Structure 1
């Protein structure tokens, strides 16, 4: 990730050097500023931006606005850092016809998805499973200013899992797809760090991982437990193997996180020293033991739960009973997990475990929405551009403090990914990613939807134009 930040800084410098618009000085005046650090909101505040960085924040009376600065009057508004999502999938298409139709253009679909996220106030996303090279191409195009969209950090493949047309995801597609196309798609995702690594001894893993760590990725995610229905309770890697993965990745200067869906995979990942736990609330029919939660809290390991609203839970359970009718026992794991998740999140909140906004969201074509019944979903986490609002509402329902909730969607995510020197708060020297809201987000989670303006890299986002090119978002 560190090399990505350096590359990003160089890209921004180049764009600022040759694009006069990005060198504009802007002063946003009169707003209540909630900087993301947890302190009291700053009423009647002024925030000054030069280029893509914040150069001053304070009481309006104490700020000398530079001559010639463009003034944005924001009396009665609220300024917060741009939102972040720890876990999205900008391109995880399941329809074979879509994969075939847009072959060679996946980066364009990823940019479309990044624009959908940005339009909804998510200025930074972390893509934890997807086709590495198209993600790199989209990320770089956005960072260079060639395209607009949420800032992208990417992992590529989940270490230990195979591609979309494998037993880890959607194996049924192989029945109607040519072997050559199946291999091409799977290889694009797997990048030689799939299930073959699961067969290896711990002492072999480090060497097998190193070539992938030298590729253009920003962080690493590995599977601590199985992904598909019926395998979520199985361990993917042993304790020793996970120790090797974590040490190898950290030794390469990258952050490491894990997909975990059982109490044992969670415990092992915590003891291995991961930087972030994805789906830490998902543990099937078993509540996370107090000893594991205590360890998470003591080590302050951030956890990204897939917390659903009450309405969302009810809709998902109804959907699973229909969709999983052919595998009732395995499908019951999901239903039980939803019900147990509520208890896990409550226990983690009480213990002081850092919880981060996470949606697992993606952009679906209309065909897939109809196929899975997603178009009828209620308050679904997995709908890109909407899921983050539902997560915030869900955490409000669970009793999370309003300021803690704001930080869980901004500063605390930046800290988990070790990019908090540039992003996550509204302070002098930080990149100017921010939202101006019409209502106070500390009063109600619903106020996060009341977006007056979005700024990314110090420039106003023209929301009405997004997405600029429609592929998966186009009408039937």
Structure 2
């Protein structure tokens, strides 16, 4: 019976493909990706060998290769011995803040944002959410063009300026943001007004920076302000993501109705009360493990730093810095390194507890927020760290694809299935056995077109 239902579904899909209205390859391209091991993003047993039929931007049929012949109009791509997974989806990144070793508003140009989005795409991250500090005059036109498939680069979503505090987070000394690039209300009324302005511009989400960056800033956001942000955003049909560090803040925000905890809790172990409120309210949790690892890992020179997968993600000025013995010595002596190592250790433990407790986990790294958080490469390190935390490779892939799409309320991507966008990574390894296999990229398909090959041919 299952086989009959499958063949009927295939017949329907191929009928739409080749039925009453003739379709030629010149009108709308048709491609059959044939013979690969399919990891479809839903967490089930891989299908091997599988065929994926793509028409235009979308997948129209998926099934066993011996039961799904390619239509006559299709270009057949032989993927025997390869593995395919969905394009990765970042729920927490930033664009336009860095270039080489530099950070600041001068980098928020159309050209630089596109350069970064092309790098994300080449590394298999086909959807990126820029959580605040966006220049609206650049962000919104690019978002529209990318999501219409008019430009090459990852699809772009974001949180407009974001809402910070007048003299605290996010720290201006670090970000060097332009005037108006971050909204900094000092009253609940002003906070509501800023949310309304962001809604009018068309923001996807609202971001609030609540904590004091581990006691490094004058103070935290007044709870009356973040409560006003959440209330106003919800009235306007927007969801809110919160930058946090401490468990107490994360718990208060979850109880106060925030939709997304945008960083991991790093001060103390999470407790049963926090897990319960997160589950009861359906609040999402993005651990951003790589945020702290990036603070210290490059000074340690792990073996993967010599691989093309890493080195081709690094712009020449940053590569020179990372290769400098003087820089490495200075970094290793920085007191921030010990703090970052403790933060990462706590974050790993808390992620495992929250995942085991049934909390909804999203995927993000804070890549692009400073030069050491490298677009595209950081997302693959995040997968490895999730597995280090005790999550299986298959679970990590599912979080970075299907679940990350669900966090954004996107039902058109995140899994390889009929009707979804053809965002696909072709790998020369099986990442369900070893998560580092996600670095063995042979090709990236985005919206039905191959947009990248092996990263050995990519230049940052």
TM-score normalised over the length of structure 1: 0.76
**Equivalent residue pairs, number:** 410
Residue 354 of structure 1, CA deviation: 2.6
Match in the other structure for 1:200:
187
After the TM superposition, which of the residue ranges 30-39 and 138-147 deviates more from structure 2? 138-147
2:59–2:420 Cα contact (<8 Å) kept: yes
Match in the other structure for 2:284:
302
| Cα separation, partners in 2 of 1:455 and 1:245, compared to 1, 3 Å | same
Quick check: 1:393 aligned with 2:384?
yes
1:57-98 Cα offsets, whole Å, 9 max, x none, are: 111233243221111111111121101111111111389988
Match in the other structure for 1:153:
157
**2:289 match: secondary structure:** coil
Could you tell me which runs of 5 or more consecutive residues in structure 2 were left unpaired when the two chains were aligned.
1-24, 301-326
Quick check: 1:131 aligned with 2:151?
no
Residue 324 of structure 1, CA deviation: 11
Work out the CA distance in 1 between the residues paired with 2:432 and 2:53. 23
Question: How is 1:274-293 mapped onto 2 (pairs within 5 angstroms)?
Answer: 274-283=258-267, 286-293=268-275
2:37–2:49 Cα contact (<8 Å) kept: yes
**2:380 match: secondary structure:** helix
Quick check: 1:356 aligned with 2:338?
no
Match in the other structure for 2:233:
249
| Cα separation, partners in 2 of 1:416 and 1:112, compared to 1, 3 Å | same
Which of 58, 71, 88 is the aligned partner of 1:53? Answer: 58
Residue 253 of structure 1, CA deviation: 2.8
RMSD of equivalent CA atoms:
3.6
Residue 230 of structure 1, CA deviation: 1.4
Work out the CA distance in 2 between the residues paired with 1:53 and 1:43. 21
After the TM superposition, which of the residue ranges 448-457 and 217-226 deviates more from structure 2? 217-226
**2:60 match: secondary structure:** strand
Which of 443, 447, 454 is the aligned partner of 2:433? Answer: 443
Could you tell me which runs of 5 or more consecutive residues in structure 1 were left unpaired when the two chains were aligned.
1-19, 174-181, 375-381
TM-score normalised over the length of structure 2: 0.78
| Cα separation, partners in 2 of 1:441 and 1:429, compared to 1, 3 Å | same
Work out the CA distance in 2 between the residues paired with 1:79 and 1:49. 14
| Cα separation, partners in 2 of 1:321 and 1:168, compared to 1, 3 Å | farther
Work out the CA distance in 2 between the residues paired with 1:317 and 1:277. 29
Which of 210, 221, 227 is the aligned partner of 1:236? Answer: 221
Work out the CA distance in 2 between the residues paired with 1:456 and 1:320. 37
Work out the CA distance in 1 between the residues paired with 2:293 and 2:190. 46
1:270–1:301 Cα contact (<8 Å) kept: yes
Residue 298 of structure 1, CA deviation: 3.9
Work out the CA distance in 2 between the residues paired with 1:314 and 1:142. 34
Work out the CA distance in 1 between the residues paired with 2:328 and 2:222. 28
1:277-323 Cα offsets, whole Å, 9 max, x none, are: 1112333xx33333112322344422111224998686389899956
Work out the CA distance in 1 between the residues paired with 2:456 and 2:112. 13
After the TM superposition, which of the residue ranges 353-362 and 433-442 deviates more from structure 2? 353-362
Work out the CA distance in 1 between the residues paired with 2:205 and 2:294. 30
| Cα separation, partners in 2 of 1:287 and 1:97, compared to 1, 3 Å | closer
| Cα separation, partners in 2 of 1:346 and 1:462, compared to 1, 3 Å | closer
Match in the other structure for 2:396:
405
**2:178 match: secondary structure:** helix
Residue 387 of structure 1, CA deviation: 0.6
1:82–1:121 Cα contact (<8 Å) kept: yes
| Cα separation, partners in 2 of 1:119 and 1:131, compared to 1, 3 Å | same
Match in the other structure for 2:306:
none
Which of 167, 177, 186 is the aligned partner of 2:178? Answer: 186
Match in the other structure for 1:377:
none
